[in-house]
Structure 1
Amino acid sequence: MVLFTFNIVNIEAEVKKGASVPDEERIRITENNSKAILRILDIHDVKASFFIEISIAEKLQSLIKAISSKGHEIAFYNINSELREIEEAKKSVEELLEKQIKGIRQKDYKIPKEDLKMLGFGYVSHIDHADILFPFKRLKRDTEITEQDGISVVPESISPYSQLPYNDFVFQVLPMKYYKNMVFETLKKDDFVLIYLSSWQFTDFSRYRFDIPFYRKWNSGKRSKTSSISCFAGSTKMRWLPHE
């Protein structure tokens, strides 16, 4: 199976000289990008997991309700939040949705699994850095969801053939035909492939003058990314991540 996930995050990049994108506008960009994702998933009747960055969860309540009402999973993405902040965000969103939040994703800043278990999380999804050097970095490859300290650990998927991870950068730069073949070949060996994209990739960089590397602008924007997702979703059986 394919586990299709999205990191809902504000773009943190600086802007080019003479340009300005205040915090309120960054939130609006994130909301609009996320709504574009919802529309394309709805067209293909695909369900996904949305990992909301904890520091902006309070400002995205309407979006969170819209995502949940479409049948998608709401989870959290922890970039650098402390345990108390995670607990407060979890309680707030659970009251908003009247359902429990079971998943959390972490990258650099990792809260211990026993603390996440104490807060009522059922699984943690660990991801690595996504940048242009990935093809030259051999990563540890786990293929199974394991139980550690009372919580399920979902590993980041890596192709056994190309050694490429299924992160946002790889989805962005690879030709879709090659990417789909990579997924199908991996599923012949593994039970699942975990794919994740980031909401900022749907940003129109011709309109918002963020100072980002050229390779991050390639194949970005709503039109390009929704087209890629549409092509992929139309030929792949996908599901969300919740741990029962």
Structure 2
Amino acid sequence: MVLLSFDIEEFDMPFEYGKEISFADQISISRAGTIAILDLLDKHKIKATFFCTVTFAENVPDLIERITKTGHELASHGYYHSDFKPEHLLKSKVRLQELSGQEISGYRMARMMPVDEQEIEKAGYLYNTSINPTYLPGRYNNFNVSRTHFRKQNVLQIPASVSPVIRFPLFWLSFHNLPLSIYKSLTKWTYKKDQYLNIYFHPWEFTDLDDFERFGFPGYVRKNTGSKMINRMDNLISWMKSNRYPFGTFQEFIGELENMPV
């Protein structure tokens, strides 16, 4: 199963590069990208999981309704994208349930940073997908973590997909910077080995980020954003469907795992 997911959040990334961006622009940019994503998913008739901050959800109630009414899964990406306290785990779960009318069973920490598994369990989540089991300088070193799903503190851990052996990450930056043919080859290798893929993206990638003065992003972040990203994602989904890869939400994936013979 392909677990396609999107971290929908207030677009605060320019702050990491020393740029200012208004809250209104943070919301409007992520809103535009989320609409582009939903249109693509509608086109291909596939389901995905949206990890959403409460801050973003409160500002786009119509998109939250569209996500849930079209059969996608809503999960928690925290209360705020740039601030975290352990109590936000439960508070974000409860608030997203109020806003969506949907049970929230999954969590992904902002920027895939470490999160206390005991606190995740106490907040009532069934799964956590906050691990990128590879090495990225200055961000994390997770070579010691299982490449595929495992249990910890009674919570199912579903790390982001990385290739077998060399653990090349298949996350959003790889998708932007690799030739599409190479990215497809890596996903094919990983899917054949693991029988599932967990790949994630963000709404702002589906908007034009080329304005260096405004956002301050280096070339490897700006590359293939906006319409190029929409076209590349359209191409990837079409290719996966032609190879008969099934798409599903994390909740559906967990249901399949529970039904597998021991």
Return the TM-score normalized by structure 1.
0.86
* Alpha-carbon spacing, 1:98–1:119, altered in 2? closer, same or farther (3 Å): same
Deviating more after overlay: 179-188 vs 39-48: 179-188
Q: Does 1:227 align with 2:227?
A: no
Alignment check: 8 A CA contact 1:49 1:240 kept: yes
Match of 1:122 among 117, 120, 126: 126
Match of 2:88 among 85, 89, 95: 85
What secondary structure, in the 3-state scheme, does the structure 1 residue paired with 2:3 have? Answer: strand
Q: Distance in 1 between matches of 2:41 and 2:210?
A: 25
Q: What whole-Å deviation, never above 9, does each CA across 1:151-171 have from its counterpart, x for those lacking one?
A: 111122111155311111001
What is the aligned length? 239
Give me the whole-angstrom Cα distance separating, in 2, the residues matched to 1:27 and 1:131.
Answer: 31
| Native 8 Å contact 2:121 2:155 kept in 1 | yes
Structure 2 length normalisation: TM-score?
A: 0.80
Is the contact made by 2:58 and 2:99 (CA closer than 8 Å) also made in structure 1? no
- Which runs of 5 or more structure 2 residues have no equivalent in the other structure? 256-262
The answer to which of 7-16 and 30-39 deviates more is 7-16
Moved more, 27-36 or 160-169: 160-169
Instruction: Report the Cα distance in structure 1 between the residues aligned to 2:6 and 2:17, rounded to whole angstroms.
Output: 27
SS at match of 1:101: coil
Q: How far is the alpha carbon of 1:39 from its aligned partner?
A: 0.3
Higher RCO (CA < 8 A, seq sep 6+): 1
Superposed displacement of residue 32, structure 1: 0.9
- State whether residues 8 and 53 of structure 2, in contact with CA within 8 Å, keep that contact through their aligned partners in structure 1: yes
| 2:37 corresponds to | 37
RMSD: 2.8
Change (3 A) 1:138 1:126: closer
Q: Going by fraction, where is helix more abundant, 1 or 2?
A: 2
2:215 aligns with one of 210, 215, 238: 210
* Cα distance in 1, alignment partners of residues 134 and 29 from structure 2: 21
Work out whether residues 16 and 209 of structure 1, in 8 Å CA contact, stay in contact via their aligned partners in 2: no
Residue matched to 1:26: 26
CA distance in 2, matches of 1:154, 1:20: 34
Q: 1:150 matched to which residue of 2?
A: 154
Contact kept in structure 2, 1:8 and 1:52, CA below 8 Å = yes
Select between 161-170 and 65-74 the one with higher mean Cα deviation.
161-170
Of 97-106 and 50-59, more deviation after overlay is shown by 50-59
Residue aligning to 1:72: 72
Q: Counterpart amino acid of 2:14?
A: A
- Please say which of residues 65-74 and 122-131 is displaced more in the overlay: 122-131
Cα distance, 1:55 vs. partner?
4.1
Residues 140, 167 of structure 1: CA spacing in aligned structure 2 closer, same or farther, 3 A cutoff? farther
List structure 1 runs of 4+ shifted beyond 4 angstroms.
14-17, 129-134
**How many percent identity over aligned positions?**
26
Give 1:206 shift: 4.4
Q: Does structure 2 conserve the Cα–Cα contact (< 8 Å) formed by 1:202 and 1:225?
A: yes
Q: Distance in 2 between matches of 1:62 and 1:152?
A: 31
Q: Are 1:113 and 1:151, in contact at CA under 8 Å, matched by a contact in 2?
A: yes
